Structure 1
């Protein structure tokens, strides 16, 4: 992922936010904030043959504590018009490979139980469901506004 990909990355991210089952985030960040919060080398895009961004994956540190320096949290988003074509799986596999090369040993994410496509994708990519967090945060927007949401914690050991 490079800065010229940002407009497409942001559109795909916004579509995920709008659907209400991708993130607690209310709106997309600025490009500068997005890149500042992500681990360099672990921001990936998948493009079509004509170069159009069809999906993205990125990772952030899980903690600032040194003992957790090898543990990262990831996000993966696919253009809704390209869903079901294996793009998410390609992105997750590439992210895991690159993370392993960079010395990370564990990738995790929290997924809403209602996001069955993401849960199925992570199952297929070799992630394990390791926990269910009940009423972890309150949703402030979208179709679930005003409700407490659960998440499923998934993990892949590299």
Structure 2
């Protein structure tokens, strides 16, 4: 497996992995996959990666988005990491998240954050293993398929970016 920058050539497979995450029910509040143009426009270039298997298949992806357009938050991003269900448990998420952390730190980003459903134990464990801390839980923050859902807020403050 190799971690490489996400490119337009990966679009179909990235969006399929996203679709599978949406259908799984515990990855996102989103209910539909955007088209590639919308997906790409909402993620920052330079901090988008895919894990590619020996056969060229995309096994997972990670990317960041701005949390705000305000200058004071220029060093804070929100990230997503998704792994194809057939590739789960092979360290792909950890490799993607580590690549994302390295790229954001190199760019001067001091905080990477995310919101994770508490039922997503694998994601919570992944983030803990990569140095994220639980900030708190937003109880009943929004409805998802008609049910109120909580979100665990996670962040990783860079130890090298001042």
TM-score normalised per structure 2 = 0.93
Residue of structure 2 in register with 1:71 after alignment: 76
In 2, Cα distance between equivalents of 1:157 and 1:71 = 9
Residue of structure 2 in register with 1:151 after alignment: 151
Q: Note the C-alpha offset of 1:103.
A: 1.3
Q: Note the C-alpha offset of 1:62.
A: 0.7
In 1, Cα distance between equivalents of 2:153 and 2:139 = 11
Residue of structure 2 in register with 1:142 after alignment: none
Could you tell which deviates more after superposition, 80-89 or 60-69? 60-69
Runs of 4+ displaced beyond 2 Å: none
Residue of structure 2 in register with 1:48 after alignment: 53
In 2, Cα distance between equivalents of 1:76 and 1:22 = 9
In 2, Cα distance between equivalents of 1:32 and 1:45 = 17
- Give 2:118's match in structure 1, choosing from 113, 116, 126: 113
Gaps of 5+ in 2: 1-5
- Give 1:96's match in structure 2, choosing from 101, 107, 113: 101
RMSD across aligned positions (CA): 0.6
Gaps of 5+ in 1: 140-144
In 1, Cα distance between equivalents of 2:42 and 2:22 = 18
In 2, Cα distance between equivalents of 1:74 and 1:9 = 15
Q: Note the C-alpha offset of 1:50.
A: 1.6
In 2, Cα distance between equivalents of 1:81 and 1:29 = 22
Q: Note the C-alpha offset of 1:146.
A: 1.2
- SS of aligned partner of 1:63: coil
- Give 1:10's match in structure 2, choosing from 10, 15, 18: 15
Count of matched residue positions in the alignment of Structure 1 and Structure 2? 153
Residue of structure 1 in register with 2:44 after alignment: 39
In 2, Cα distance between equivalents of 1:35 and 1:102 = 19
In 1, Cα distance between equivalents of 2:92 and 2:114 = 18
In 2, Cα distance between equivalents of 1:58 and 1:44 = 6
In 1, Cα distance between equivalents of 2:34 and 2:108 = 28
In 1, Cα distance between equivalents of 2:108 and 2:125 = 27
